[in-house]
Structure 1
Amino acid sequence: MDSVLKIGHRGAKGHLAENTLESIQLALDFGVDMIEIDVHRCNSGEIVVIHDFTLDRTTNGSGEIANKDWSTLKELKVAGAYKIPLLTEVLDLIEGKSAINIELKGSNTAEATCKIVQDYVENRNWNYSDFIISSFQVNELFEARKFSEKIPIGVLSKASISEAIKIGKELNALAIHPSIGIVTKDKILQTKKAGFKVIVWTVNEPDAIARMQEFGVDGIISDYPDRLVKVQCLKLKGKVKSEKKA
């Protein structure tokens, strides 16, 4: 319970503009074990960190990311103040400070992302165990697995954990990433019995965080990573008090 991974959702989404270097830095400041981000491949080939398929919600631009060159994207503002980062910029920022969960959000992202992961493992101070590649897009996960047997994979699910386990076995995945809305204690036990770690998303309320820890998940993704730290500290204090009484 005390070793549950604290994972910042799109950085510290609940505090600062999602998927920005500033939001990611804040999550690091809170003491996360891992950063979760989303990536797309833009028209000129770069892997950019942004959630939506279009620019309209989070930036002062509009249109599909896949149709934009990096020369255009790098001039835009997120939430009026921040820049869209490249995946490489995020990796440079967090190197040696935390692990990373890269969600392949857009199409045709797997190969280019995996090439970056491979490069950072071979030429920088990264290990494959510092990465998880996850996605709802099963075809992208199979492309990632085809590229490398070494890169850890997580299967995202918001409908059926049983189906995710089936896919996970085909992929030789590390983890299943279910939505909190479909998680039960029995489902977590089923997933662990099948040989997978369980990383649940998106868990924001303190009571829900505590419940997921009690259920025995391996990682919790939250918009408020500071709450993950706080709940864990409270549990540790409670454990110490119990040991003293005993």
Structure 2
Amino acid sequence: MTLRIGHRGAGGHAPENTLAAIECSMTLHAHLVEVDVRATSDNQLVLLHDATLDRTTNGHGPIVSQRWSDLQEIRGHDGQLLPLLADALCAVSGRIGMMIEIKTEGIAKQICRMVKEVQFNGTVIYASFFHDELLKVRREEPQAQTMALIEAVPVNQTAFAKDAHASHVGVAFETLTPSFLKALHDRSLRVFTYTVNEPVDIQTARAMGVDGIISDYPERLL
């Protein structure tokens, strides 16, 4: 079975990385919902893809320079406060799984501890382009599922995943080839591909034999 993952909640239907998008992803029968996590200057974990507030909120500037108290007047395109990771975990727990993309270095341990603190009930996959963060996850939670994200095929096709002690690999759809997929599968790695929205591309990815497809439109993966 190919897993269905809602990208940034369900970014094709509701503002990305919002509780509304997460709820939409669950309604549209995703197996997991993917969210992006960054930290404020006072170490509050919030859902936000970009390094700055500008694109997805009415605020401005880097999130890392903002305190949580500074964000109380900031609203996303859904008119709501930036969601805290804790709120997202509680909304999803017991319903579907969550794929948490660690967007910056230095917050992996805190994210792991938040998942434990809320007693999340379900599958969690920790994903990052910062592969050292995945090693920190592994040290904090030895049995965790971790995903090494990549945009292009490395010279050594599988060493990066071994170095990160990853159980999964996330590959940009434009990069994915049958031979690369086979090399990863031969190393017992589960392979997800992102971000796949067009029906013809979804069919191609499924025919290749990927283990999961990440899409802004989870219902297209049914």
TM-score (norm 1): 0.86
- After superposition, residues 5-154 of structure 1 pair within 5 angstroms as 5-79=3-77, 81-120=79-118, 124=119, 126=121, 130-154=123-147
2:11 counterpart SS class: coil
* Identity over aligned pairs, percent: 34
Task: In structure 1, give the amino acid aligned to 2:81.
Answer: K
Residue pair 1:41, 1:108 contacting (<8 A) in 2 also: no
Find the structure with the greater CA-based Rg.
1
Task: In structure 2, give the amino acid aligned to 1:152.
Answer: Q
Please list every run of 5 or more consecutive structure 1 residues that lacks an aligned counterpart in the other structure: 230-246
1:175 match: 168
Task: In structure 1, give the amino acid aligned to 2:143.
Answer: K
2:121 counterpart SS class: coil
Residue pair 1:165, 1:176 contacting (<8 A) in 2 also: no
* Superposed CA offset, 1:10-36 (max 9, x none): 011011100000011011100100000
Comparing 26-35 with 155-164, greater Cα deviation is found at 155-164
2:15 counterpart SS class: coil
Question: Aligned Cα RMSD in Å?
Answer: 1.5
CA distance in 2, matches of 1:73, 1:109: 19
Residue pair 1:157, 1:164 contacting (<8 A) in 2 also: no
Quickly say closer, same or farther: Cα 1:125–1:107, change in 2 above 3 A: closer
Runs (4 or more) in structure 1 with deviation over 3 Å come to: 161-164
CA distance in 2, matches of 1:78, 1:125: 25
Please list every run of 5 or more consecutive structure 2 residues that lacks an aligned counterpart in the other structure: none
Comparing 153-162 with 97-106, greater Cα deviation is found at 153-162
2:162 counterpart SS class: helix
- 1:193 paired with 2:186, answer yes
Task: In structure 2, give the amino acid aligned to 1:169.
Answer: K
- Give the one of 191, 203, 210 matched to 2:203: 210
Q: Which has the higher helix share?
A: 1
CA distance in 1, matches of 2:34, 2:157: 19
Residue pair 2:89, 2:120 contacting (<8 A) in 1 also: no
Could you tell me how far 1:163 is from its partner in structure 2? 4.7
TM-score (norm 2): 0.95
* Superposed CA offset, 1:110-140 (max 9, x none): 11101112334xxx3525xx11111111222
CA distance in 1, matches of 2:41, 2:129: 22
1:182 counterpart SS class: coil
